[in-house]
Structure 1
Amino acid sequence: MLNPQWLRSFATLAETGSFTRTAARLGLTQAAVSQHVSHLEDALGPLLVRRPRQIELTPAGRALLDYCAELEQADKRLQSRLTDAQADCGEVSLVTPGSIGLALYPVLLDLQQAHRGLVIRHRFAPDPEARDAVLNNTYELGLVTLRPDDPRLASEAFIEEPLELLVPAAAKADSWDDLAALGFIDHPDGQAMATRLLSRQFPANPGVRTLPRHGFVNQIGLILEPVARGFGFTVLPRHARLAFARPDAIRVIEGCAPVVDQLWLIYRAEWPLPARALRLVEHMRRACLQGGA
C-alpha cells in the first residue's frame, strides 16, 4: 500500500504546482516533499514533468491524482458511517411488521423529505426475520411483537397495537353464525390473530378453522380490499385499518375485551446507535404520540 504521507504530498503538489508552496502548506521541507514524490515514482514510474517554475502531470500522475481523490472520498464515507454527528445524512435501516409499517412509511418519507441527505431503507418482515436482520447487522433498527431475550439485542417498548375485528360497512357480526355467513378473509397471521380475538368475542366458538374461508391475501396493504367489497371479514392490527384508503367501506366490531400487542424497538446492544438512527426513532415516537402513526 502506498504511504499516505507520500500521497498527501503529491496531491498537494498537484494542486499548488509548487514544491515551495506544498512544503509550506504541509509544514515540511522542500527536500521532504521531493523525497516523497521520488518514492512514488520509484513505485509507479514518472509522475511529473518538471520545468522551471512549472510542473505537469504525466498520464500516470493524473491516474495517481484520481486515486488520491478516491481515497479522500472513501475516507469521508467511512467517517460519515462512524461518526455520531451526522444526524441529517447517511443511511438508516428499519425492519417492521407490515401493519405498523404501513402507518410509519409516510412518516419516514416526511423525515427524508425534510432532510434530503438521509436515505431510509424500510422493509416489512415478521418477527423472526426482523430479529435476524438486526442481529446480522443488515438492518440497524427493528420493531417486533415479541420481546427478544437475546443479550445481543437491546429492546424498548415502542407502541401498543390492538387487534380489530373488521367487517364490510353494512354487515353485522353479532354472532358466530354472522361470521360464518360472511366468511373469513385469511392472511399469513390470520388464523392466529382471529383465534386470539374471537376467543374473547365469542368464548364458546368452535374454532376459526370451522369458518368458511372466502379469500387469502399475503400483502398487508391489500387484505382489507376484499372486506371492503363484501367478500368476508378479517382480523388485523389497528394500524393496518388506519392506513386503508377506503375507511368508509369497512367497520370495526366493538364490544369485547381488547387484545393488545406491545411492539418493541430492537437494536444491537453492543454499540451505540448513530445520530441519524436516533433522529429516526425520535421522529417515529413523536408521530405515534401525535396520532400520525
Structure 2
Amino acid sequence: MINPIWLDTFITLVEAGNFTRTAEQRFMTQPGVSQHIKKLEDVCNCELVIRLGKGIQLTEQGQRVYHYAKSQQAQAQDFIASLKFDASYEGKCVVACSGAIAQRIYPALISLQKQHSALNIHVEVAPRRTILSGIANNTLELGIVTNMPDTKDVQSEYLGEEPLGLILPRALLGSDLATSDNAKSADVGLQKADDDLQKADGSIKNVVTTLGLINHPDAMHYVQRYFNDCGEADLASINPNQLHHTGYINQLSQILLPVSEGLGFTVLPTSTLNFVSFAEKLAVYQAKNDVTEPLYSVQTPHSTLPARYEIVKKKISQVLGSDSAPTIRN
C-alpha cells in the first residue's frame, strides 16, 4: 500500500510547481519533501518528477500517479463526508429534478448554502424516469417528480402543485398586446389576449393546429395533460401525436425563444416565464380549468435521510408551496 502522506506531498508538489512552495505549504523542509518524493518513486519503481531549474516536469508515470493520488484523496473526502450522517448543516446533498423545478428551488438552496458554507449543494437536472430509477437503485437519495410514483421501490411525499400553461406568441394576438404595459396586471393582460384570440381565430384549436408545436423532452406529456384537463372540448379533441412540430430543443432556457418569435406554441410550467427576458412577447392562454401537476419528493423507502437532507427538503417544500401561483410578467 502506498503511504498516503507521500501521495499528499506529491499532489502539493505537482500543484505548487516547485519544491520550495511545496515545503512552505506542507510546513516541511525541502529535504523532507525530496525524501517523500524519493520514497514514492522507490515504491512505484519509476521516476515521477524531472527537476528543471526551480520548476518540475512530470514523467508519464508521474502523471498517472498524480491522477491516482487525486482519486484517492477525493474518495477519502467522500468517505469522511458520508460519516457525517447527522450533521444538519454539513455535507453533500444531491437533489435531482426537472429543469423547471431547478429554476424555482436553486436560488433558495444557494441561499441556504451561503448561510451554512459546510453544505455542498448539487442539483441534477434529469427526466422523471431517470430520477425514479436512481432512487430505486440507491444511486440518488432525494428527487422531485411530477405525479405520485406507482411503485414500492420509491417513497413519495406531496410537496405542491406545478401550474402548466399553453404558451403562445403575443404578437399573434394583436398589436396592442405586442408591447409591455407595466400598468396592466398579468390577469388583465392575459384575459385580453384570450378575447383577441376568440375574435381573430374563432377557437384556440385553430391557433395551435396552425402554429404547430415547439417540441421539447416533456412536451408530449404536458400537452396531453393540458388538453385533457383544461375543460375545453376543442383542445380535448386534438390528438397531440398528430400535431405538426415546428421546432425542437432540449434546453429549458431556450424553449420559449421560438415561441416568442411566432414560430409555434408549447406547453410548459408557467414558472418558466419568470426566468426569460422576453416574457412580454409571450401570452398564456386562460382555459376554463387551471391545469396543474402534483409534485412529490421521492426517496428510498424504509430509510431515513441524513439530517442535512431534511433541512434541504424543508427548504424545497417552502419554495414549492409558496410558489404555487407564480407571477407572470407582462
- TM-score, length basis structure 1: 0.68
Q: Give identity over the alignment, percent.
A: 28
> Whole-Å Cα distance in 2 between the matches of residues 78 and 90 of structure 1?
11
Is structure 2 residue 310 aligned with structure 1 residue 275?
Answer: no
- Cα distance per residue 1:207-241 (max 9 Å; x no partner): 23444321111122211111112211111122333
Residues 198-237 of structure 1 aligned to structure 2 (within 5 Å): 198-199=227-228, 200=230, 202-204=232-234, 205-237=237-269
The aligned amino acid for 2:223 is A
Quote the Cα distance in structure 2 between the aligned partners of 1:275 and 1:206. Answer: 48
The 3 A distance-change label for structure 1 pair 148 and 194 is closer
Q: Which runs of 5+ in 2 are unaligned?
A: 2-34, 40-73, 174-196
Q: Distance in 2 between matches of 1:105 and 1:195?
A: 28
Any residues of structure 2 matched to 1:113-128 within 5 Å, and which? 113-128=114-129
Partner secondary structure for residue 96 of structure 2? strand
2:319 aligned with 1:287: yes
- Whether the 8 Å CA contact 1:160–1:261 is kept in 2: the answer is yes
Whether 1:168 and 2:197 are equivalent positions in the alignment is: no
Q: 1:74 to 1:177 in 2, by over 3 A?
A: closer
Counterpart for residue 284 of structure 2? 252
Q: What residue identity is the alignment partner of 1:226?
A: P
Does the 8 Å CA contact 2:84/2:90 hold for their aligned counterparts? no
- RMSD in angstroms over aligned alpha carbons? 3.1
Structure 1 208/155 Cα, relative in aligned 2: closer, same or farther at 3 Å? closer
Deviation, structure 1 residue 75: 8.5
1:272 corresponds to which letter in structure 2? T
Secondary structure class of the residue paired with 2:149: coil
Instruction: String of CA shifts for 1:102-122, please: whole Å, max 9, x gaps.
Output: 222222222222222111121
Quick one: distance in 1 between partners of 2:160 and 2:77? 36
What is the one-letter code of the residue matched to 1:278? Answer: E
Task: Give 1:181's aligned residue.
Answer: 210
Unaligned runs of 5+ in 1: 2-58, 64-72
Instruction: Tell me the secondary structure at the aligned position of residue 289 of structure 2.
Output: coil
* Structure 1 residue 143 corresponds to structure 2 residue 172: no
Measured in 2, the distance between the counterparts of 1:135 and 1:121 equals: 19
Deviations 1:158-180 (A, max 9, x none): 12112211011232344221223
| Greater Rg by CA | 1
Aligned residues: 230
Preserved CA contact (<8 Å) 1:127 1:146: no
1:86 alignment counterpart = 87
Determine the C-alpha separation between the residues in 2 that align with 1:195 and 1:85: 43
Give the match for residue 40 of structure 1: none
Q: Using the alignment, how far apart are the partners of 1:76 and 1:187 within structure 2? A: 38
CA distance in 2, matches of 1:78, 1:215: 46
SS at match of 1:197: helix
Runs of 4+ more than 6 Å apart: 73-77
CA distance in 2, matches of 1:271, 1:206: 44
1-structure distance, mates of 2:124, 2:322: 23
Question: Aligned in 2, Cα 1:193/1:149: closer, same or farther, shift over 3 Å?
Answer: closer
Name the CA shift for 1:114/1:208 in 2 (closer, same or farther; >3 Å): same
The equivalent position to 1:194 in structure 2, one of 201, 205, 223, is 223
SS at match of 1:170: helix
Amino acid at match of 1:99: A
Cα 1:245–1:116 change in 2 (3 A) is farther
Q: Distance in 2 between the 1:153 and 1:246 partners?
A: 39
Distance 1:247 1:254 in 2: 16
Q: Secondary structure at the match of 1:181?
A: helix
Give the AA of the match of 1:269: P
Assess, with a 3 A threshold, how the Cα gap between structure 1 residues 245 and 113 changes in structure 2: closer, same or farther. farther
CA distance in 1, matches of 2:270, 2:135: 25
Q: What secondary structure does 1:81 align onto?
A: helix
Displacement of 1:273:
0.8
Change (3 A) 1:276 1:210: same
Partner of 1:42: none
Counterpart of 2:207, as a letter, is D
Q: Residue in 1 aligned with 2:100?
A: 99
Distance in 2 (CA, whole Å) between partners of 1:132 and 1:87 is: 27
What is the deviation of 1:78? Answer: 4.5
CA distance in 2, matches of 1:194, 1:243: 21
